Structure 1
Amino acid sequence: MDAGMRTSSKRVKFLVLWALLLLAKLVLAATLQPFGDEAFYAWEARHPAWVYSDLPGLTAWIAWLGAQVGGPGVFALRLPFVLLGAALPWLVVRITRRWFGAEAGWQAGLLALLMPLGGLMGLLALPDVPMLVAALLCLDAFASLMRRVTVWGLVQLALALAMGAFAHYRFALVVLAGAAGLACTPAGRALLRHPGLWLALAIGALAWAPVLAWNLSHAGAGLGFQFVDRHPWQPQWRGLWWPLVQGLLLTPLLAWLLGRSLLECWRRRRDSEPAWAFMLGLGLVAVPGYFVFGFFTDAERVTFHWPLAGWLALCCVAPPVLARWPSRARRLLHATAGLGLAAMLAYLALLASAQGRSSLAAGPAYADNFSGWSEVATAVRDDLRAMPDDTLLVADNFMLAAQLRLALGRDDVRVLPHPINQKHGREVQLATWGLLDDGAQDWAGRPVLLVLEDTARPLRQRLAGYRELCDRVGRLPVPRVLNVDHGRKRFLRFVLGEAVATGPAGGCRLPALAWLETPARGDTLAPGDEVRGWALASGSGITRVELRLGGEVVAGLEPDLPRPDVAAYWGLGPDDGDRFGFRFAMPAVPGVPAGRAWLALRLYTADGGVEDWPAQPVRWRPSGQSEAGAAQGGREADQR
């Protein structure tokens, strides 16, 4: 096959895959529930500003553009990001063509599309999309300028630098990577002596002025969040997982190819083609640099996408390396990367359907940030219809408030202080908008619908959260409980009348808490097995616990076993007592087939409340005792 036919074949494959991925992203953009941060960026778009507490303004401006073109809703929010993401592989093609010709350009574009994170970038309305576009535009400008300095090249560089500055604080690391690349090649060092480059850099630097001004006027809140507060800045051995995670996300053979491409940059750093030395400096900062960085930075939130700019840049020098591989190895790389991309699409398709999310609820693949939002919005909408028109809508955290604002189309959702507001750098922004609510003292006697995302706090922190809530809003009524996906997402809604009496938490009726100690999640359960746990409701008390399997009520009793350990753990007073324990002998349940089933509790409180506790999966064996049950029976026989 001659060079022209090979180029044509690769171009056709690129165009077909690009079009199919664009179609898939458009479908998913219309069906996936909004990611929590997306909803907040849509909220920021309703309050135009140069800078916000979490980010510079570009992401919100793009979200505003989507709303102007497509109206309210998540698809319109995402549409401009989808289109920006679709430009990324074309930029990879353009950069590679400059260095290695048309055939290599289409090959690099294919690699960028087959990379799961690269091919799907733009699906969500996130700041990484414009930041990556800005990074590749800078790389393309440098690739041009190192050959010949032109006015257009300098203008492109200046605009790309400004775009990156308005996209994310993390773009500063992209600038550092570019500077390292220029320092590594004679063509780059010669470019640094050109006054036109410094003019472009100065224009790019000016774009950081609003960011610095905002931070100066807000005690460095944005810089503090991005570079200080969210990072422990102490060694964390979890950073050792970084290569494995990146290998899985890129797919192993593609990760190997890009790693070999970085080594090729080292080997050919003195080559006459400046791309190799330039990409050596850039790649060392943008990929291994993040590996070192990962030992000291945020381990609680998602950071696996941070090196993506470096991986996409390395795609531009990968084709000459890939060309030396045997044809079978090249086909295997494309096949495995394609399978990884298909697996990511299949996972997102599962998340886009209610049945898919429910099927994932039993395991670690459940994505709670894509789940529960439409269900709680529907419930809140129904609640508000039955309440006065002047009802205040108050959410307990920024993410829930942003989701309700997006779904209900109202900008007056208030937010209570919550740990995740500060954890995600949104507390200052809410206060700036005047939407950070202090509780009943801010409600001026108006009726209130208070919505809590119960699962936003770990179980060990919930009772303290309830007590803090009671201090802010007064005595709580019986909550309306919404369990989504068997309770993996759980919401509590409180309808508060006009007269809200504040007081100490000790005099408050708090939502119920419970725990199933036996069986554990995923254990086998059969008739005759013991089901044991505890349930409490501080301020009211539990009068009855119902055991449910597969939605069927199978038993009920009053919890009356002493559990002083539970009372001590939760810091309960004498008024609550310590009789929280319960023990069931599992009965036969003919209507529930063998296999995975959901075991749950329904809690009845002394003040008439009924609260469903989240369910947990078990392996139901209706034909006889499980191994655990048999062992328990044997122990009881020995004791007798």
Structure 2
Amino acid sequence: MRGDDARALQARRAFLWLWGAVCLVKLVLAAQLPLFVDEAFYWQEGQHPAWAYSDLPGLTAWLIRIGVEVAGNTHLGVRLPFLLIAAALPWLMVRIVAREFDERSAWLAGSATVLLPLAGSLGLLALPDVPMALATLLCIDAGARLLRRVDYNGPLVLALGLAIGALSHYRFIAVIGVGIVALLLLPAGRRALRDPRVWVAVAFGAAAWVPLLAWNLDNAEAGLRFQLIDRHPWALHPEGILFLPLQVLLVSPLLFVALLWAAWRTLREGTEVQRLFALLGGLVVAGFFGLGFFADTERVSFHWPLPGYLALLALLPALLDAWPRWLRRATWGLAAAGLVSILGYYVAVSIPAVRAQSAALKWYPSNFAGWDTLAETVAEVRAGMPPETRIVAGNFKIGAELGFALEDPRIAVLDHPLNRAHGRAPQLQLWGLHTAGRSDWGDDPVLLVVGATDVPYRDLLRRYQALCERVGPLPPPRVLNIDHGRQRFLLFALSGAAQRDGPACVTPALAWIDVPVAGSTVQAPFEVSGWAFKDGIGLYRVEVTLDGEVVAEAEYGLPAPGVAGFWGGSTDPSHPDVGFRATLGADAPLPPGRHWLGLRLHGRDRSVEDWSEQPLEIE
């Protein structure tokens, strides 16, 4: 066997082992990982079949509907089509590179597609990035074919890629724009664009946008306005510079450098096909870097440049061959470490005990956390209410996650800032699932499920007061603290006409522990102090808990004049005397180590609410 053949065989074996191992890990993990809130909403869209939706074209919802019809209404069923598409992407990369370079480079590029963290983790979540990555590779394949010669194969592949991209996400417009620019910059590309078969393919791809455009025309351009205007500040902000270090981490440092270096080198000395790959990749990455200085910084956008990296991966093997062996190994090793880190994050998210320990950390995965527990609690509470009881969710996240868990895609949702911030409010209106509150329910009993951690804490009291305005007086809530209260839900059993005649607005309690601060280290005995109040009726007792157990009763009613000033409009009759203080460890020793400090708040309406816990270390 010749040396080149042996090296190609070795690269092939490495790819097959790597691809198989990663696919198996993702398959197992996808069955265990809780649904991300966007996945749950896409599931809900799939239960309401349509050509397009307020946030996306239809393909993501259609794939999820196919998955649950085939594999059941499970996490794996939702994700199965996306896992299959993601598994096909490295093979498509192998096919492209084998045709344009050589067999060994093809297997190496396939391995790089598996190891690139942003690409290798695709399919774990049922998100539009997966079919959009497929569309990108099909368009790259078509572009390379068209540069060599225009026959019927290239336009057919181009038409398929453009159609899948149009049905995946608004963001695919960037890939189309960059593709046209790249072809115009190359002599062979300009020749290809003069062929009518290419424009027939482009017309076919353009036709795939018609359902989305029709939806926008019928709904006051709500989707376009959200994607292109409402979600972006369109003002220069310096946070855009964070794009570079974030991409370096997510791509892995050496691989990021290698991809950009490959693009630069190829633009100077590569063939036209190679320069096409460099232009496609470089322009996409550079374009999203520039956009980062003006676009949305509140929602996840780190995955936007993935189409550019896919184009550049084809150039990677040739560059790495020119590097020293130790540097090549370091590049592959760091890429593998990056993929393992991302998969490890999803493993941690899948384990409740690990999630609970991360409750005080910034990276706490709230969009994955607590939905099964919430669904079980909702089913339990509803079982004790009249059979005709309706479930109403406080925002689209709760409605979609409960809908999936309870297999009910028709859960009504109250107006909420999150519905508008994520572009889901128009879709809820179209489905008839937006509810104004008691005026829509009449005297029907309702189980209202509200998130207490889905608005900034400073806005929480006003949120509670707005609930009273919409649904009437609030009864004592069933409080559900997930992961020490980092994810917190309130369940209100509203009894209809009797509830309407109840007392004035009584909100859930609000509290804060001033001393000790979260994460601090203390020595017993130590003092716990802060404030707590309950609008409309007040508190009569505050207890201090440690790891969920009451360890002291606080002295309540101490002066706290600044609280009423901060919470303007509070109606607790105890203001300004809403402070509390307690000493822990004076009468009985406290075990050293990490503990969770919390409060149990007793309202004058006989309500008992456990407040969120915070960590501390006892020496």
TM-score range, shorter chain: over 0.9
Q: 2:512 aligns with which of 511, 515, 535?
A: 515
Q: Could you tell me which residue of structure 1 aligns to residue 617 of structure 2?
A: 619
Q: 2:337 aligns with which of 328, 334, 339?
A: 339
Q: Could you tell me which residue of structure 2 aligns to residue 585 of structure 1?
A: 583
Question: Is residue 471–residue 503 contact of structure 1 (8 Å, CA) maintained in 2?
Answer: no
For 1:339 and 1:294, the matched residues in 2 are separated by: 26
For 1:262 and 1:589, the matched residues in 2 are separated by: 69
SS of structure 2 residue aligned to 1:404: helix
For 1:7 and 1:502, the matched residues in 2 are separated by: 76
Moved more, 473-482 or 107-116: 107-116
Q: What is the 5 A alignment of 1:438-453? A: 438-453=436-451
Q: Could you tell me which residue of structure 1 aligns to residue 561 of structure 2?
A: 564
Q: What is the 5 A alignment of 1:347-362? A: 347-362=345-360
- 1:246-269 CA distance string (max 9 Å, x none): 00011111111111112112222x
For 1:500 and 1:219, the matched residues in 2 are separated by: 40
1:435 Cα offset (Å): 0.6
Q: How many residues align?
A: 617
Q: Could you tell me which residue of structure 2 aligns to residue 371 of structure 1?
A: 369
1:389 Cα offset (Å): 1.8
Q: TM-score, normalised by structure 2?
A: 0.97
Structure 1 position 324 matched with structure 2 position 322: yes
Q: Could you tell me which residue of structure 2 aligns to residue 65 of structure 1?
A: 66
Structure 1 position 38 matched with structure 2 position 35: no
Q: 2:532 aligns with which of 522, 528, 535?
A: 535
Question: Is residue 470–residue 502 contact of structure 1 (8 Å, CA) maintained in 2?
Answer: no
For 1:240 and 1:503, the matched residues in 2 are separated by: 56
1:510 Cα offset (Å): 0.3
Q: Could you tell me which residue of structure 2 aligns to residue 180 of structure 1?
A: 181
Alpha-carbon spacing, 1:11–1:483, altered in 2? closer, same or farther (3 Å): same
| 2:222 counterpart letter in structure 1 | A
Q: Could you tell me which residue of structure 2 aligns to residue 524 of structure 1?
A: 521
Q: Could you tell me which residue of structure 1 aligns to residue 27 of structure 2?
A: 26
Q: Could you tell me which residue of structure 1 aligns to residue 81 of structure 2?
A: 80
For 1:51 and 1:542, the matched residues in 2 are separated by: 50
Alpha-carbon spacing, 1:467–1:574, altered in 2? closer, same or farther (3 Å): closer
Moved more, 603-612 or 581-590: 581-590
1:184 Cα offset (Å): 2.1
For 1:288 and 1:451, the matched residues in 2 are separated by: 44
SS of structure 1 residue aligned to 2:475: coil
Q: What is the 5 A alignment of 1:410-421? A: 410-421=408-419
Q: Could you tell me which residue of structure 1 aligns to residue 475 of structure 2?
A: 477
Structure 1 position 256 matched with structure 2 position 261: no
SS of structure 2 residue aligned to 1:369: coil
Question: Is residue 539–residue 576 contact of structure 1 (8 Å, CA) maintained in 2?
Answer: no
SS of structure 1 residue aligned to 2:480: strand
Structure 1 position 311 matched with structure 2 position 303: no
Q: TM-score, normalised by structure 1?
A: 0.94
For 2:474 and 2:144, the matched residues in 1 are separated by: 63
For 2:574 and 2:429, the matched residues in 1 are separated by: 37
For 1:591 and 1:195, the matched residues in 2 are separated by: 84
| 2:365 counterpart letter in structure 1 | A
Alpha-carbon spacing, 1:295–1:502, altered in 2? closer, same or farther (3 Å): farther
For 1:612 and 1:68, the matched residues in 2 are separated by: 41
Moved more, 89-98 or 408-417: 89-98
Question: Is residue 147–residue 273 contact of structure 2 (8 Å, CA) maintained in 1?
Answer: no
Question: Is residue 472–residue 502 contact of structure 1 (8 Å, CA) maintained in 2?
Answer: no
| 2:238 counterpart letter in structure 1 | W
For 2:574 and 2:159, the matched residues in 1 are separated by: 66
Q: Could you tell me which residue of structure 1 aligns to residue 114 of structure 2?
A: 113
For 1:595 and 1:183, the matched residues in 2 are separated by: 65
Q: Could you tell me which residue of structure 1 aligns to residue 277 of structure 2?
A: 279
- 1:164-210 CA distance string (max 9 Å, x none): 11110000001011112212221111111111101100111111112
Structure 1 position 156 matched with structure 2 position 153: no
SS of structure 2 residue aligned to 1:599: strand
For 1:160 and 1:237, the matched residues in 2 are separated by: 35
For 1:398 and 1:54, the matched residues in 2 are separated by: 13
Alpha-carbon spacing, 1:573–1:487, altered in 2? closer, same or farther (3 Å): closer
| 2:523 counterpart letter in structure 1 | A
- 1:86-105 CA distance string (max 9 Å, x none): 11111221221222111111
For 1:446 and 1:414, the matched residues in 2 are separated by: 14
For 1:91 and 1:239, the matched residues in 2 are separated by: 33
Moved more, 565-574 or 603-612: 565-574
1:576 Cα offset (Å): 4.7
Alpha-carbon spacing, 1:534–1:433, altered in 2? closer, same or farther (3 Å): same
Q: Could you tell me which residue of structure 1 aligns to residue 100 of structure 2?
A: 99
Moved more, 350-359 or 219-228: 350-359
For 1:263 and 1:244, the matched residues in 2 are separated by: 20
For 1:117 and 1:324, the matched residues in 2 are separated by: 25
Q: Could you tell me which residue of structure 2 aligns to residue 632 of structure 1?
A: none
Alpha-carbon spacing, 1:410–1:589, altered in 2? closer, same or farther (3 Å): farther
Percentage of matched positions with identical amino acids: 47
For 1:297 and 1:620, the matched residues in 2 are separated by: 45
Q: What is the 5 A alignment of 1:388-399? A: 388-399=386-397
CA RMSD of aligned residues (A): 1.6
Q: Could you tell me which residue of structure 2 aligns to residue 193 of structure 1?
A: 194
| 2:151 counterpart letter in structure 1 | T
- 1:98-122 CA distance string (max 9 Å, x none): 2211111111111111111211111
For 1:278 and 1:509, the matched residues in 2 are separated by: 64
List structure 1 segments (4+ residues) > 4 angstroms apart after TM superposition: 500-504, 588-592
For 1:416 and 1:574, the matched residues in 2 are separated by: 26
| 1:395 counterpart letter in structure 2 | A
1:498 Cα offset (Å): 2.7
Moved more, 66-75 or 307-316: 66-75
For 1:441 and 1:279, the matched residues in 2 are separated by: 58
SS of structure 2 residue aligned to 1:168: coil
Question: Is residue 454–residue 492 contact of structure 1 (8 Å, CA) maintained in 2?
Answer: yes
Q: 1:549 aligns with which of 546, 555, 579?
A: 546
For structure 2, the 5+ residue unaligned runs are: none
Question: Is residue 183–residue 281 contact of structure 1 (8 Å, CA) maintained in 2?
Answer: no
Alpha-carbon spacing, 1:563–1:261, altered in 2? closer, same or farther (3 Å): same
Question: Is residue 393–residue 412 contact of structure 1 (8 Å, CA) maintained in 2?
Answer: no
1:444 Cα offset (Å): 2.3
SS of structure 2 residue aligned to 1:394: strand
Question: Is residue 267–residue 279 contact of structure 2 (8 Å, CA) maintained in 1?
Answer: no
- 1:531-585 CA distance string (max 9 Å, x none): 2210010011111111112233221134211222110111124735211111223
1:150 Cα offset (Å): 2.2
For 1:43 and 1:390, the matched residues in 2 are separated by: 22
Question: Is residue 555–residue 582 contact of structure 2 (8 Å, CA) maintained in 1?
Answer: no
For 1:222 and 1:589, the matched residues in 2 are separated by: 62
1:233 Cα offset (Å): 0.4
Q: What is the 5 A alignment of 1:220-259? A: 220-259=221-260
- 1:514-533 CA distance string (max 9 Å, x none): 00111111111222332221
Question: Is residue 53–residue 426 contact of structure 1 (8 Å, CA) maintained in 2?
Answer: yes
Q: Could you tell me which residue of structure 2 aligns to residue 600 of structure 1?
A: 598
Question: Is residue 98–residue 143 contact of structure 1 (8 Å, CA) maintained in 2?
Answer: no
| 1:385 counterpart letter in structure 2 | A
For 1:546 and 1:275, the matched residues in 2 are separated by: 71
1:356 Cα offset (Å): 1.7
